[in-house]
Amino acid sequence: MEKAKSNNLELDNYFDCCPICHARGCPVRIGYYFRYALELSSQFFEKIPIVRFKCRRKGNPKIKAVTFSLLPDSLIPYHRYTIDTCIAVIIILLSLSMEKALQHVYNCIFDEELNTSERTILRLYNLFSQSCIKLKNFYSSNRNKAPPDFYNYNKNQILKYMQTFQSEGIGTGAKTLAVFYYQSEGAYIKNARFLFGTASQFRLDR
């Protein structure tokens, strides 16, 4: 938290390339805000400071966004559930009925204020389904990186793949796969989309 507040934050300052307009020396750090995050496996629910930057439009922006935020790699845009929590919920959902899945998730959380509902679970399931489509499209265009016959994987197989994915220097699991996907698609230099969720700038007219 203190690093997020500090002017000496040890993070990429995007000096070489602005994610929005691609100009050199464009973005400036304008502060931070807090995001709630739920990690089901360790049962924590806390506020995480998110660093915020402003694009000064020095280049030729193709999107209307002026500001952007630097999310930790465990978070999903506009979701309080982390990537690992999303996967944990999907594991429960694919093995249990909706009613039992809701009860199981609720028992893990112990917090009525979270208002875990069927709508929340379905939203996470839809998020997972979209990620499956993104992965299949990615590997159909990058066959040299694809597991054998990945395009024919069902959701249970993709779920297992996400859980066991490994990348040297990054780690293991779905969060690691999300980083690998983002970097493979060009990261912020190419304004790459996320594997899990959609950032606001991708909802704007180009």
pLDDT 10s digit of each residue in the chain, 206 long?
A: 444 444 444 455 677 888 888 888 899 999 988 888 877 766 566 788 889 999 998 888 777 788 888 888 889 988 888 999 889 888 888 877 777 777 777 666 555 455 567 788 888 899 999 999 999 999 999 999 899 999 899 999 999 999 999 988 888 999 999 999 999 998 888 878 899 998 766 544 43
104 and 185 both lie in a single domain? yes
35 and 122 both lie in a single domain? no
Cβ burial of 89 (10 Å; 0-12, 13-18, 19+) is buried
Residue 175 pLDDT: 94
Last residue of a domain, one of 41, 72, 103: 72
Residue 103 pLDDT: 74
Cβ-count burial 122-147 (b if 16+ within 10 Å, e if not): ebbbebbeebbebbbebbeeeeeeee
Residue 176 pLDDT: 95
Residue 8 pLDDT: 47
62 and 77 both lie in a single domain? no
58 and 92 both lie in a single domain? no
56 and 111 both lie in a single domain? no
Classify residue 200: in a domain, yes or no: no
62 and 139 both lie in a single domain? no
88 and 188 both lie in a single domain? yes
61 and 78 both lie in a single domain? no
| Total structural domains within the chain | 2
Cβ burial of 46 (10 Å; 0-12, 13-18, 19+) is exposed
Classify residue 18: in a domain, yes or no: yes
43 and 111 both lie in a single domain? no
Residue 109 pLDDT: 59
105 and 53 both lie in a single domain? no
Classify residue 199: in a domain, yes or no: no
Last residue of a domain, one of 32, 50, 72: 72
Last residue of a domain, one of 72, 101, 123: 72
Which residue range is the domain that position 47 belongs to?
A: 1-72
87 and 187 both lie in a single domain? yes
